[in-house]
Chains A and B, each alone.
Chain A
Amino acid sequence: MTRYLVGKLAESLLAIWGVVTIVFFVSRVLGDPAVLLLPIGAGQQDLDALRASLGLDRPILEQYLISVLAMVRGDFGISFQHQRPAMDVVLERMPVTATLAGTALLFGTLIGAVAGAIAALKRGTISEFIVMVAALLGQATPVFWLGIMLILLFSVDLGWFPTGGSGTIAHLVLPGLTLSVFVSASIARLLRSSLLDIMREDYVRTARAKGLLPRTVFFWHIARNALIPVITMIGIIAGELLGGSVVIETVFAWPGVGRIIMQAIQAQDFPVIQAGVALVAAIFIVVNLLVDLLYGVLDPRIRRR
C-alpha cells in the first residue's frame, strides 16, 4: 500500500510539472505582455527597461528554469495586472469557486444517486423511463444555455433570484442548480448501468439464495461494488468543478477561479495564468489521489495489490 501511494505521488508530481511546462511555453506564444502594460506613447527605451525588470529579456530556457525553480518554492511571480503575488490573486477566488462546486456536487450527487438507483431497481417501469429521459436530456443540454434559460425564467420573468454576482445564498441558487443538473445526469446514468451490471453477477445470486435480506444484498453486495465507477466519475467532476467552470462563471458573473484565469489569458498576465493552471491541475490530481485511496476502502482486492 505504501509503495502504491509513493508511486502515485511521484506520478502526480510529474504530471504537475508537465502541466506547468506546457503552460509556460504556451503562454509565451500568447504575446509580449510588456507592450500591453506600457502606456500609449512610451518609447523603445521604456519597453526595454520594463522587459528587463520583468525578466522577459533573458533567453526563454533561462526564463523557464528560473520560473520552475521559483514555483517549487511556491513563488509564481507578481501579477502584471494586479501588482500582487500571482498565487494570492488566484487563491482569493478559491472560496467562491469551492462554494459553487461543493453545492453542485452535493445536490448533483444526491439527486443522481437516488435517480440512478430508482432506475436500476424499478427496471422496466415508468419511473425508469422518466429518470432515463431526464438524464439523457440533462446530458445533452449545454450547461451555459441551461444557465441562461434559468435566468430568463427565475430572474427576468419571476424576479426570484439575481441574474448574477455572488455573496448571498440567493446568488448561489441558479448557478448551483445549473451545475447540479449536469452532475446528476451523468451520475444517474452511470450508476444505473453499473448497478445493472453488478446485479447480474453470480455472487449476488448466491447472496440472495442463502436468504439474506434484500436490503443487505443491495447495500452490502451490490451498491458497494457498483459505486466504484461512480466514485471515479465524481472525482473527475469534482476536479473539473473545483478548477472553476469558466462558462458558468461567465454566465452568472461568478467571480471564481475560472473567470480570473480567463481574464488573465485575455490580459496575457503570465504569472496569474501559470499560478491558476498549476493550482487547478494540483487540485485535480489531489482529488484523484483521494479517489484512489477510497477504492482501497471500498474494495479490499485493490488494497492488496
Chain B
Amino acid sequence: MKAFFLALLKSRSGLFGFLLVSVFVLAAILAPYLGLPVPTRSNLLARMVAPTWTGLFSPGAHPLGTDELGRDILSRIVHGSRITLAIAAAAVILGGIVGTLLGIVAGYYRGMVDRILMRIVDIQLALPLMLLALLVVAALGPSTRNLVIVLALTSWLRYARIIRGQVLALREREFILSAHAIGAGTWRIMLKHLLPNVMTPALVIATLELARIIIMDAALSFLGLGVQPPNPSWGRMLADGRVYISTAWWIVTFPGIAILLTVLSVNLLGDWLRDHFDPKLRTTR
C-alpha cells in the first residue's frame, strides 16, 4: 500500500487524477452536509439567475446560477453526482463481477463453453453499445435499477475477453497444475487460484470502464432514458437547459464541465493504474 502511494506521488497526472477523484467522491458522499440549497426546491422569483461570485457565502448566493425553475445549479450538480457516481459504480461492479467470472470460466474450461461465450461477445460487439442500451432501456422502462443493468450489459464483455486471455495462459502454469495434483476442485481452482491472479487487470479495466460508463449514463439521461426527474442528473440537466441556450448559457455549460472533469480524472487515474500494474493491457483497449 505504501509502495503504491509512493509510486503515485511520482506521477503527476496519476496523482492529479487520484486527488480529483477523491474530491468528487467526498463531495458526493458529503453533499447533504455542505450547506447547499435543496437541489429540487424551485424558486420562481430567482429563475435563470446568472452566476455571481460576490457574496459567495451568503445564503442566497448562486455561484453557478439557477435554472429555469430557480433551482441552484451548483447544488444540483453536486447532488447529481451522488446518483451518477452510485449508478456508475454499481454498473462497474456488476459488469466486472459477471465479466470476470465468465472470463475465468471460458478460459479455464475452453472448448464448447469458451466458444459459445466468445460467440455471444462477438454478436454483442456487432451492435453499437448505445443502440443496445437504447433498446434495452426502451424494453425494460427507464429506472435506476434498469439503468444499472443496461450499463453493466455494455461493460461485461471487455472483462470477459481480456480475463479469458489471461486465464488461458495462467492455467498452464505450475501452481495450477500442482493445485490439480493435490486434488483441488474446479471451483476452488477458479476462485482461489485464478481469481486472485486476474484481480489486477480486472481493476484496471474497471477504472477505465467507469469513465466510459459515466459518459454513457449522461448520454442516456440526455435522451430522457436515465434517472427520472425531479432527481437531478447531469445528462438531464443538459437536455432541459438546451431549450434556454440563447438566454441562459450557464444551465448547459456547468453540468457538462462536471462530466468532463469527472471523466478526465477517472481516466488519468485509470491510465496510471494500467501503466503501473499492467502495461501490456495498453493495446487491448
Contact = CB atoms under 8 A, between A and B. Distances in A.
Nearest to B212: A139
A140 B119 contact: no
Contact of B263 (A140, A144, A156, A261): A140
B260 A137 contact: yes
A144 B138 contact: no
B216 to A, nearest CB: 9
7 contacts: A19-B123, A27-B139, A140-B211, A141-B256, A142-B263, A280-B128, A281-B127
Interface in A248-283: 250-251, 258, 261-262, 265-266, 273, 277, 280-281
Interface in A171-214: 190, 193-194, 197
Contact of B139 (A29, A141, A148, A245): A29
B134 A265 contact: yes
Interface string A143-161: 0111011011000100000
A34 B93 CA distance: 39
Contact of B222 (A144, A156, A240, A277): A144
A144 B134 contact: no
Nearest to B255: A145
Given A140-B263, A142-B215, A261 B122 contact: no
3 residue pairs, one from A and one from B, having the closest CB atoms? A145-B256, A18-B123, A140-B264
B38 interface: no
B259 A19 contact: no
B238 interface: yes
Contact of A265 (B123, B138, B253): B138
Interface of B: 119-120, 122-123, 125-128, 130-131, 134-136, 138-140, 211, 215, 218-219, 222-223, 238, 242, 245-246, 249, 252-253, 255-256, 259-261, 263-264, 267-268, 282-283
A265 B132 CA distance: 11
B245 A145 contact: no
Contacts of B263: 139-142
Given A19-B127, A26-B135, A262-B223, A145 B259 contact: yes
Contact of A142 (B127, B135, B219, B223): B219
Q: Is the interface of B mostly helix, strand, loop or mixed?
A: helix
A285 interface: yes
Contact of A148 (B125, B128, B215, B245): B245
B130 A247 contact: yes
Interface stretch (A9-17, A37-45, A79-87): A9-17
Nearest to A242: B128
Contact of A277 (B131, B245, B267): B131
A290 to B, nearest CB: 14
Contact of B267 (A140, A273, A285): A140
A246 B252 contact: no
A1 interface: no
A30 interface: yes
A148 B138 contact: no
Nearest to B129: A240
Nearest to A261: B131
B128 A243 contact: yes
Interface size class of A (residues with CB under 8 A): 35 or more
B194 to A, nearest CB: 27
Interface centre among B128, B211, B252, by most chain A C-beta atoms within 10 angstroms, is B128
A198 to B, nearest CB: 11
B136 A136 contact: no
Given A15-B126, A19-B127, A261-B131, A149 B253 contact: yes
A190 B134 CA distance: 28
Given A146-B256, A193-B283, 11 more contacts: A15-B126, A19-B123, A141-B263, A144-B218, A144-B219, A144-B222, A145-B218, A156-B246, A243-B131, A250-B223, A265-B135
Given A137-B264, A152-B249, A30 B259 contact: no
Contact of A145 (B123, B223, B238, B282): B238
Contacts of B245: 148, 151-152, 156
B126 A229 contact: no
A284 interface: yes
A142 B128 contact: no
Interface in A197-245: 197, 229, 239-240, 243, 245
B283 A197 contact: yes
A23 interface: yes
Nearest to B140: A29
Contacts of A261: 131, 134
A5 to B, nearest CB: 16
A27 B131 CA distance: 12
A297 interface: no
A294 interface: no
A14 B119 contact: yes
Contacts of B259: 142, 145
A137 B263 CA distance: 9
A29 B140 CA distance: 8
A149 B245 CA distance: 9
